[in-house]
Structure 1
Amino acid sequence: MGYFTIKSRNWSTRLICFFIISLLFFPGCSMMNKITGKQPEKSEKSEAIPKQLEDVEASIEKIFGVLKGPSLVSGEANGQSEQTQTGEQNQAGSSQSQTNGQNQTEGGSQQKEQSGKSSSGQTNTNQVADPFQQAALEINKLHYLWNEIMPEINKKGAPKKLTEDFSNSLNNLTESVTTKDKMKIMLALNALYAKIPNVYALYKTNISPEIKNIIYFSRSTILFAESKDWGKASVAIKELKSSWAMLNNALEGKQQDDSGKLDMSILELEKVVQEQNTQLVQIKGKITLANIAALQKSLQEAQQSEKQKK
């Protein structure tokens, strides 16, 4: 009887050993991955972000730009673009003036009338565009873009609260323009941008939507500091650091240079917020946004490179 018991135990031990070996070496088994820490390859493909959503972001950045606020687009680049456009307009006006002069020499009151129209047109060309009018035009564009993208994100399973919050924020932004209060408009604009990360989160991409939160909290810090609301500015910089820590941990080595610059600029921004130095917050804030833009571009290029390899 004792022999039978020992033999049975031996067989049980062999079966257990065989089972463990099968788990370790059987093709396709996940046990080996768990033991070695190796993650299975991702089978999900990165989804394309709708162009309308990218256009929404571009319009928001343009509005910040025309209001001379904290934009991801370089202020120097905007200024250069405006100067180039003005130069082209003046050159066109000069050419038109010469043509009118020739027509007038050839005679007739009709040429004088055309010259008068040209002169009036030249005056309009040299007038400085109203930033609030420009903002209103871009906001009107946002309404159309949002109307186009809503069916798409609803198919992606967007919560009703997300679409309602975005619509309400867009309506509040539209109403704020009528006040012609620059700070009020920019705060409403940033409140609208706060919904962007949640929209991006509906799509499976290799770039974390957390970078959009970093943009939002950076802008919040700058705007609240400019408004002398240091309590909210302090909260915003804490949220920025927390959001950045989450993204930074997920970054790969290729982005270490860009992430290092951004990390230092956020620390610099935090320091001047603690000192309640409005002027330095504006400077350090712009540097932080520039570093975010550089990192975002680097991530996008890396994603594009991966797509080309496949």
Structure 2
Amino acid sequence: MTRKKIIYKFFPIILIIIIIFSITSCKSVNKRPSGQKDNIGSKQSEQKKQPPKSLSSLENSTKKMIEDLENIKKNKQNKNEKDREKKQSEESQSNEKNDEQNTKGEKQTKENTSNKTASKETQINWEVFDKNIQEMHKKWNEYEVQAKEDGADSQLINAFKSQLNLLTEKIMGKNEYEVLVEANNLYKYFPQFLNLYKHNAPPETLEIKYYARQILIDAEKNSWENTNILLDGIKKSWATAKSRMEKPDKTLNKMIDFAIEDFIKVTNEKKLELAKLKGQILMDNIDKIK
């Protein structure tokens, strides 16, 4: 068989081999290495900067305002309980006589001092609140430009400004309950701003605290209408938070799972005191997330 005939005979086979080799080579060149897309997303996350000090200051000031109001409310409740117990005790001893005048005088002095201390713990210092809200407006003025540059949309910025103004008006009106409500309503915006930056604990954990507080605020007024919506918010925020944790604490997360279940149960049963207890346990556990 001549060389020319041999070439014609095997030409189709050679052509097929060349085509297969060409296709394989193209795939190798164009194929994205496994995990490259995830690495890009990870790099984009790593490129985020730390939250500006002005934003952190705003969040801390709002949180402290809420905590101060809650502590004053608790102190008032404790004082009222002690006053009831004292009144009952005095009524039971109303027929007893005390001839030791000095002892009585010392007792009265101690009671007066105790009452003054209790009065400070159960009253809001509105001058301090006025000063704090003024400082918050200054911090917001610092952060607003930065927020826009860092990607916050106009709707979020305008909503925060409106809520900050509303909170300020309530502080000027010196209404303790309304200040607590509007301070908590301001707090719900911080997770959205914090998602623009690096973070350790997922910002959605702050949403959980907002929802839990709002449920307890409403429950104090025997208003349970929005309970289901707020509880759904807790469940969704927690699911998102867990999915974003790089190094989750499995034991702590399980504790929070159970704390949420317990809080949902007593809330649905409209048991105020138990809801307060379970809600505080939930928020304390949330604070442990690092």
CA distance in 1: counterparts of 2:231 and 2:26, whole angstroms: 54
Which SS does the other structure have where 2:170 is aligned?
helix
Alignment CA distance shift 1:136-1:247 (3 Å): same
Unaligned 5+ segments in structure 2 are: 1-7, 76-112
TM score, norm. by length of structure 2 = 0.72
Structure 1 contact 173–185 (Cα < 8 Å) conserved: yes
* Structure 1 residue 170, shift from structure 2 partner: 0.9
Max radius of gyration: which structure? Answer: 2
CA distance in 2: counterparts of 1:263 and 1:135, whole angstroms: 36
Amino acid at match of 2:170: S
* Structure 1 residue 176, shift from structure 2 partner: 1.5
1:1-310 alignment, distance < 5 Å: 3-21=10-28, 30-33=32-35, 39=39, 42=43, 44-68=46-70, 128=120, 130-131=123-124, 133=126, 134-205=128-199, 207-295=201-289, 298=290
* Structure 1 residue 290, shift from structure 2 partner: 0.7
Greater shift after overlay, 238-247 or 253-262?
253-262
Amino acid at match of 2:284: A
Alignment CA distance shift 1:204-1:294 (3 Å): closer
CA distance in 1: counterparts of 2:58 and 2:254, whole angstroms: 29
Unaligned 5+ segments in structure 1 are: 24-28, 77-121, 299-310
* Structure 1 residue 132, shift from structure 2 partner: 5.1
TM score, norm. by length of structure 1 = 0.67
Which SS does the other structure have where 2:225 is aligned?
helix
Alignment CA distance shift 1:192-1:269 (3 Å): same
Which SS does the other structure have where 2:288 is aligned?
helix
CA distance in 2: counterparts of 1:281 and 1:177, whole angstroms: 27
Which SS does the other structure have where 1:230 is aligned?
coil
Q: Percent identity?
A: 25
The residue number in structure 2 matching 1:96 is none
The alignment yields a C-alpha RMSD, in angstroms, of: 3.0
CA distance in 1: counterparts of 2:248 and 2:201, whole angstroms: 13
Amino acid at match of 2:230: A
Alignment CA distance shift 1:51-1:38 (3 Å): closer
Alignment CA distance shift 1:46-1:257 (3 Å): farther
Off by >6 Å, runs of 4+ in structure 1: none
